[in-house]
Amino acid sequence: MYLVTGGGGFIGSHMIEYLLGKGEEVRVLDDFSTGRESNIARFAGRFELVRGSLLDEETLRTAVAGCGRIIHLGAIPSVPRSINNPIATNDANVRGTLNLLIAARDLGAKRIVIASSSSVYGDSPTLPKVETMPTNPKSNYAASKLICEHYARVFDTVFGLQTVCIRCFNVFGPRQDPNSEYAAVIPKFIKLIRAGKRPVITGDGLQTRDFTYVENVVNAMHLAATAPAPPQALVCNVACGSRISLIGLTQLINNILGTSVDPEFADARPGDVKHSLADISLARGAIGYEPVVDLETGLRRTADYYLNNENES
């Protein structure tokens, strides 16, 4: 059985859908503090739900018991949210992950796949980002994800719990909330441009990102959970290995929607990095990962989703 923490979240709900499509038994742990029950209502009756927090050790052990493989997506996401409330981010992301690692070790889980983040690289100008380069987190969120990687390495090398940490690069896709104060750029931009409103780019718009459609990420996580013999305490990038500027992204969304809405510009946000591009050769070799959906295809699928689900946009 698989345990998916944070299953009510954007990526988590896609992970559940993917695993159910593979015929796997799935248990979900979520307190729905940031995730939404509506994300997984469509799969009701096909998975087991444990409602609770990673910080509640009794509930956590109930969720972990009997699960051989764990995909850990439970976290408080967002760089600006972590800067506004660093204690909450640390509690959920660091202490929650440590609690999970302890429960997984004690209850005999075989492998845990942990969602990390490209933000651990910080603002180094070196491109592409390679796993061997120094890390330099510039936000509380990034720091929390890097600490989780270190804890995973300890539990793999000291306790024999197999761990894989996936450094995700700017994940997007259907069911990503466009209305949150901390909404990611793509759903927010799609919503605004569709409405004829000018999206706000923080900074000069020349910053680049390796935007990664969610199907690529859940595929990689499943590969990481099932690879016969990944390297010990593996940490690897998962992305498309290509980048686009935020100005270019705005133009591409306009092309897809058939609109011509220009962005506005505002001061850059603290903690944001200028450029991001992944080297994905390690993931290719270690777990057999290949991107299955490119940026434009992913954007079209995402735009179609919000067009057909007006209540979520």
By annotation, the residues acting in catalysis are: 141
d(CA 30, CA 215): 21
Question: CA–CA distance from 110 to each of 71, 82, 159, 234, 235 (Å)?
Answer: 11, 31, 11, 15, 17
Structure tokens at 18: 């993917």
Strand boundaries in the chain, DSSP class E: 2-5, 26-30, 48-51, 69-72, 111-117, 162-168, 171-172, 200-202, 208-209, 212-213, 234-238, 244-245, 264-266
Place of tokens 């759903």: 187
Site of tokens 């980048």:
243
The amino acid that residue 101 corresponds to is: L
- The length of the chain, given as a count of residues: 313
**Backbone Cα Rg of the chain:** 19
| Closest-CA residue to 76 (of 88, 65, 67) | 88
The Cα angle at residue 294 between residues 312 and 239, in degrees rounded to 5: 90
* Residue found by looking up tokens 């609109």 in the block: 259
Euclidean distance between CA atoms 143 and 195, whole angstroms: 36
Cα–Cα dist 304/147, whole Å: 37
Q: Supply 302's token pair.
A: 């995402």
Reply yes or no: is the peptide bond before residue 128 cis, omega within 30 of 0.
yes
Round to whole Å and give the CA distance between 141 and 164. 19
